[in-house]
A and B are shown apart, each in its own frame.
Chain A
Amino acid sequence: MSRTFSKGGIHPNDSKISENAAIEQFPLPETGYVSMAQHLGAPAEPVVSPGDTVKVGQLLGKPSGFISAAVHSPFSGTVKSVEPYADLAGNKVMTVVIEVNGDEWLDTIDRTDTIVREIPYSSSEIVARIAECGIVGLGGATFPTNVKLSPPPGKKAEYLIINGAECEPFLTSDYRLMLEMPEQLLVGTRIMMKALGLEKAYIGIEDNKPAAISKLGEFRDQYRDIEIVPLKKKYPQGGEKQLIKAVTGREVPSMALPIDVGAVVQNVGTAVAVYEAVQKNKPLFEGIVTITGRCLPQQHNFRLRAGTMISSILEAVGGIPDECMKIISGGPMMGKAVSNLSAATLKGTSSLLLMTEKETKRTEESNCIRCGKCVSACPMGLEPYLLNKLGRRGMTDELEQEHVYDCIECGCCSYTCPANIPLLDVIRNSKAAVMKIMRSRPKK
């Protein structure tokens, strides 16, 4: 019996059209654009200057604060410049531009395929390795993993949950990873269990991926401490709070963190990255990226170096089809629309999704008919129709009373609204305004 969360949720067509495309290595680009802001928190500080030669895996930027992450070079070659460069939304971000020359890796990185199962490190050694290698959460938020694996004093992790739900339609990078690198994933999970001092971990996988469930099930005897939890296919099953609810039955309270109910959630991609960092000494500079879309003749799952220009990826798969009108980095529910094709991919890039105008163009909004479908769909038990009304009037006090800050921006409300009201657009904006006011208040 598959588990799930109880409140709200929607059932969009999962559209996993790229699920059978095996992972391919994407060719190296001529020039790499390595952003210093590939994670949540303060951008990294560049430690190279123009003219320097760098190797794959070499440190390019050091973390500049508690919530920050190191950035390593995905390429070998010469640093051309260190300057602001537009990201996929057009905002300028400090970027190290590298003239790629060959593919020379640091000698310390173990490039063999042998699986190293022994974990001879202590908890603090593991966390330090993860921080050094610049590992960030690959589930979308790119939160620095070392911070998540160091619970604040007084709080104890009881559950480690590995998120293999991949509930967003179209995305298949986590699925391919589970199929093609199952043991790396399991060892990575064990490493994180050791870091947190836990005896047991759970891997949650939506039941629309039976192959991944059975593949990981093959290792059941060697990894008895890791339980595979099949989850019902329902969006947003992979949302952190929803996943915790489904696996443990606990609800993360409003304004609290998962660790407050003793849970730590990590993505499957992160688990593999942790394995590579700790056992193979390989920093995080590449990942699996799904290139998909109904308008594309062929679907791909690439192993791609972070810092590859989006337009060069699209050229490699045959250029942008004429009918493609929107390119999304991430899934169709929470991904970001790309406006700048010369932007480069980041560590956390999981997919490039090409959509036609028919699939994605919004319909003109009409009157709210108060059908309550948004209320039923909201996994956080909020009332999107009301938040939308208050948000349009800028009533921040009322918005706060209605817990707008609990919104996880999953998009279920906008998806389900029969009147095509852009509920999340308004709510997201109101949430930002309310959180700003709340932060500006003196702490009690």
Chain B
Amino acid sequence: MKRLLVSPSPHIHGDESTGSLMRDVIIALSPSLLVSIYFFGFSAIKLALVGALTCVAVEYLIQKYLMKTKVTIGDYSAALTGVLLALNLPPNAPWWIMFIGSVVAIGIAKMTFGGLGQNLFNPALVGRVFLLISFPVIMTDYTTIPDSWFRPGVDAVTGATPLAIVKEGLAKGMTLTEIYGQNDFSYLEMLYTKIGGSVGEVSALALLLGFAYLLYRKVIKPHIPLAIIGTVMVFSGILWLVNPEQYTDPVFSVLTGGVLLGSIFMATDYVTSPMSNKGMIIYGIGIGVITVLIRNFGAYPEGISFAILIMNSTVPLLNKYFKPVRFGKEVKHG
């Protein structure tokens, strides 16, 4: 008699796997990577490559020789961490900084907790914040020498990020109108491209393209990014209405800095974000509020990395108290 397979139901499985999801996120990041290559030439792609390779290598070594478990580098999650970290660095950052950041991201933020699915904090952000605190000068130096091969004739050297310019100007006692007068911050330019910022922050449009792809492939739900962007707009809008010379307007607040990159790609990291829709929205609102607080009242010009890490630590609590609504909990009649 034929030996048949026997298993409990269900007998079929969907097409998605951990690897395919991670691959989709990397695909969604590719528009931003391409744009950054256009602006910064090979320095950006070099960072991404160093990051991905280091992360994969570190994960492999730890799993193989330290934890002695099954090696799972094939699921693209380590590579994704490397690419995300690269997108969070200044384009002209030296390769060794990328290397250190990757080792911290995988070795400390991910594997010490037990590997994929176990970590409390987003590994790429831990790597970035580690670098930001350890190498503040390099990490805030956004001076860029555009690659002449890609953009012949452009030899402009652009300095700090718009947020840093604003912060510095405000510190000097200038009003926003004065600061805007000295710099060219048009919304349209920021939407397409804005040199001055980390690799992934250059083009808002490229990030939104990736967002659309993730939503189309149902890799992520829109709750977290929309909650963050909405909160940043509302909260900074309130401040702007209170004093438009002191606080930036809502559109400027969303388009500059890492809000888009952070909300679309960093805050939605599966492992470190809540499970239920309600939890996701509260998590997003928390990130938005903390980001605006740090930007306007903190020492750093940008705060989304810290905001996400802080909210990461609340995820177990959010999962515990904000459960999905069970079927049959609210009995409706008629």
**Provided the pairs A366-B18, A375-B275, A418-B21 are in contact, do residues A424 and B9 lie with their beta carbons within 8 angstroms?**
yes
Complex contacts, A372 vs chain B, CB 8 Å: 270, 274-276
Establish whether residues A251 and B327, one from each chain, have CB atoms under 8 Å apart when the complex forms.
yes
User: Is B72 an interface position by the 8 A CB rule?
Assistant: yes
User: Is B16 an interface position by the 8 A CB rule?
Assistant: yes
Residue of B whose beta carbon sits closest to that of A262: B333
Establish whether residues B328 and A333, one from each chain, have CB atoms under 8 Å apart when the complex forms.
no
User: Which listed residue (A325, A362, A369) contacts B270, Cβ 8 A?
Assistant: A369
Complex contacts, A368 vs chain B, CB 8 Å: 117
CA distance A341 to B1 in the complex (A): 8
Question: Chain B's nearest CB lies how many Å from the CB of A142?
Answer: 16
Establish whether residues A332 and B75, one from each chain, have CB atoms under 8 Å apart when the complex forms.
no
CA distance A253 to B118 in the complex (A): 34
Among B1-41, those with CB < 8 Å from A are 1-2, 4-14, 16-18, 20-21
CA distance A373 to B17 in the complex (A): 11
CA distance A327 to B20 in the complex (A): 29
Establish whether residues A373 and B16, one from each chain, have CB atoms under 8 Å apart when the complex forms.
yes
**Provided the pairs A241-B327, A332-B12, A403-B326 are in contact, do residues A337 and B4 lie with their beta carbons within 8 angstroms?**
yes
| Range, interface on chain A | 35 or more
Q: List the one stretch of A104-112, A113-121, A127-135, A379-387 in contact with chain B.
A: A379-387
Question: Chain B's nearest CB lies how many Å from the CB of A389?
Answer: 11
Establish whether residues A422 and B221, one from each chain, have CB atoms under 8 Å apart when the complex forms.
no
Establish whether residues A366 and B10, one from each chain, have CB atoms under 8 Å apart when the complex forms.
no
Residue of A whose beta carbon sits closest to that of B333: A250
Establish whether residues A383 and B323, one from each chain, have CB atoms under 8 Å apart when the complex forms.
yes
Complex contacts, B275 vs chain A, CB 8 Å: 370, 372, 375, 383, 385
User: Is B145 an interface position by the 8 A CB rule?
Assistant: no
User: Is A222 an interface position by the 8 A CB rule?
Assistant: no
Among B278-330, those with CB < 8 Å from A are 319, 323-330
Establish whether residues A369 and B271, one from each chain, have CB atoms under 8 Å apart when the complex forms.
yes
Establish whether residues A327 and B18, one from each chain, have CB atoms under 8 Å apart when the complex forms.
no
Residue of A whose beta carbon sits closest to that of B280: A372
Complex contacts, A382 vs chain B, CB 8 Å: 324, 326
User: Is A440 an interface position by the 8 A CB rule?
Assistant: no
User: Is B115 an interface position by the 8 A CB rule?
Assistant: yes
Q: List the one stretch of A78-86, A183-191, A274-282, A406-414 in contact with chain B.
A: A406-414
CA distance A376 to B325 in the complex (A): 11
Residue of B whose beta carbon sits closest to that of A260: B331
CA distance A378 to B72 in the complex (A): 28
User: Which listed residue (A367, A411, A416) contacts B118, Cβ 8 A?
Assistant: A367
CA distance A210 to B40 in the complex (A): 56
CA distance A350 to B75 in the complex (A): 39
Establish whether residues B333 and A326, one from each chain, have CB atoms under 8 Å apart when the complex forms.
no
Residue of A whose beta carbon sits closest to that of B270: A371
User: Is A291 an interface position by the 8 A CB rule?
Assistant: no
Complex contacts, A12 vs chain B, CB 8 Å: 12, 14
CA distance A4 to B202 in the complex (A): 43
**Provided the pairs A326-B11, A337-B5, A360-B5 are in contact, do residues A418 and B327 lie with their beta carbons within 8 angstroms?**
no
CA distance A337 to B325 in the complex (A): 33
Among A309-328, those with CB < 8 Å from B are 320, 325-328
Complex contacts, A371 vs chain B, CB 8 Å: 21, 270
- Chain B interface residue count, CB cutoff 8 Å, equals 43
Most buried by B among A241, A415, A416: A415
User: Is A47 an interface position by the 8 A CB rule?
Assistant: no
Complex contacts, A419 vs chain B, CB 8 Å: 17-18, 117
User: Is A304 an interface position by the 8 A CB rule?
Assistant: no
User: Is A252 an interface position by the 8 A CB rule?
Assistant: yes
Residue of B whose beta carbon sits closest to that of A372: B275
Residue of A whose beta carbon sits closest to that of B325: A381
User: Which listed residue (A250, A320, A428) contacts B8, Cβ 8 A?
Assistant: A428
CA distance A406 to B327 in the complex (A): 8
User: Is A51 an interface position by the 8 A CB rule?
Assistant: no
User: Which listed residue (A169, A253, A336, A422) contacts B328, Cβ 8 A?
Assistant: A253
User: Is A199 an interface position by the 8 A CB rule?
Assistant: no
User: Is B116 an interface position by the 8 A CB rule?
Assistant: yes
Establish whether residues B10 and A414, one from each chain, have CB atoms under 8 Å apart when the complex forms.
yes
Complex contacts, B276 vs chain A, CB 8 Å: 372, 375, 383
User: Is B332 an interface position by the 8 A CB rule?
Assistant: yes
Among B189-233, those with CB < 8 Å from A are 221
**Provided the pairs A367-B117, A369-B18, A375-B275 are in contact, do residues A357 and B327 lie with their beta carbons within 8 angstroms?**
no
Residue of B whose beta carbon sits closest to that of A339: B6
User: Is A338 an interface position by the 8 A CB rule?
Assistant: yes
Establish whether residues A359 and B9, one from each chain, have CB atoms under 8 Å apart when the complex forms.
no
Establish whether residues B16 and A326, one from each chain, have CB atoms under 8 Å apart when the complex forms.
no
**Provided the pairs A380-B327, A406-B326, A418-B18 are in contact, do residues A337 and B332 lie with their beta carbons within 8 angstroms?**
no
Establish whether residues B75 and A366, one from each chain, have CB atoms under 8 Å apart when the complex forms.
yes
CA distance A320 to B2 in the complex (A): 9
User: Which listed residue (A337, A409, A415, A420) contacts B12, Cβ 8 A?
Assistant: A415
Establish whether residues B5 and A367, one from each chain, have CB atoms under 8 Å apart when the complex forms.
no
CA distance A253 to B330 in the complex (A): 8
Most buried by A among B10, B20, B117, B330: B10
Complex contacts, B4 vs chain A, CB 8 Å: 325-327, 337-339, 341
Complex contacts, A416 vs chain B, CB 8 Å: 14, 16
CA distance A336 to B11 in the complex (A): 9
Establish whether residues A359 and B12, one from each chain, have CB atoms under 8 Å apart when the complex forms.
yes
User: Is A334 an interface position by the 8 A CB rule?
Assistant: yes
Establish whether residues B332 and A415, one from each chain, have CB atoms under 8 Å apart when the complex forms.
no
Complex contacts, B10 vs chain A, CB 8 Å: 332-334, 411, 414-415, 424
CA distance A409 to B17 in the complex (A): 22
Complex contacts, B221 vs chain A, CB 8 Å: 376
User: Is A7 an interface position by the 8 A CB rule?
Assistant: yes
CA distance A319 to B26 in the complex (A): 47
Closest 9 CB pairs of A and B: A411-B10, A381-B326, A367-B117, A371-B270, A372-B275, A326-B5, A253-B328, A380-B327, A337-B6
A370-B270, A381-B329, A417-B13 given; 13 more Cβ-contact pairs under 8 Å: A250-B333, A252-B328, A256-B328, A261-B331, A261-B333, A338-B4, A357-B5, A366-B72, A367-B116, A411-B10, A414-B10, A419-B117, A420-B17
Between A and B, 26 residue pairs with Cβ closer than 8 Å are A251-B327, A251-B328, A253-B328, A326-B5, A327-B4, A328-B11, A332-B11, A338-B4, A339-B6, A341-B1, A360-B5, A360-B12, A362-B13, A369-B116, A371-B21, A375-B324, A381-B324, A382-B324, A383-B275, A406-B328, A415-B12, A415-B13, A416-B16, A419-B117, A424-B9, A425-B8
